[in-house]
Structures are given as structure tokens and as C-alpha cells.
Amino acid sequence: MIQFGVESFVLYSAPVDMRKGINTLAQVVVSELGRDPQCGEAFVFIGTRGDLLKILLWQKNGYWLCQHRLERGRFRLPVVRRHDGRACAVSLSIWEWQNLIDGIIVKQVQRLPRFSV
């Protein structure tokens, strides 16, 4: 069984041409996000049509490129841009990643006050 040991998920906030392969997506991580694609994070890209998702991940001595296609529906990207209008990286928790994959849109999460014990 393959275990990836992903530290975190990083979503690229702009749609991507899904014809791009490992080398081109790794270059997007470096040039657009200013990150190291070999840092242990899983970089998530969503296609322009919204029904295809790719994950770029470095593991020990090489890249993994995984793809997930929806038969119906679209993935929803959070609308996040930098002040200059360019796309940016959005860090996703495991909970947010699962919601993205399951098609759940959470507009606002509010933590209710609790008494400390």
C-alpha cells in the first residue's frame, strides 16, 4: 500500500489547463506560488472546466501526479486573489480538502464560544 504522508494541501486559486504535466505544474508552483514543489506539500490544481483535479506531490525520489475527474458536477474554487490580481496559494486543512472533494461549499465557519473546563 502506498502512503503519501502529505503534510498539507495547497490549492492553486486559478483554473489550470489540464494538459499540463509534472514539469509544467512544478514550474507553476515555483513561478506563480514561489514555493518549492519538493517540500512535502500536495499541490492541487483544478481545470478550467471545473470537473478535473490534479495533485502534484513529491515523494522521496520523484513526483506523483494524481488526477480525479467528476462524472457530474464541478469543483468549486474559493475566489482568492492577491492585491495585484494574480492567483495565489490557498492552504487547505484536511477538513477543507474533504469538503472540496465531496462538493460541500462552506461559506462561513463560526466557532461558538465554549466554557473551559
CA distance 106 to 68: 21
Residue 105 has pLDDT above 70, yes or no: no
How confident is the model over 90-104, as pLDDT tens digits?
888 777 778 777 777
Is the pTM higher than 0.85? no
Task: Report yes or no: 63 and 26 within 8 Å, Cβ to Cβ.
Answer: yes
Residue 112 has pLDDT above 70, yes or no: no
How confident is the model over 3-12, as pLDDT tens digits?
566 778 898 9
Max CA distance (Å), the chain: 54
Task: Kindly state the cell numbers that stand for 117.
Answer: 473546563
Residue 1 has pLDDT above 50, yes or no: no
Q: Which residues contact 14 (CB under 8 A, 6 or more apart)?
A: 77, 87
The pLDDT of residue 20: 96
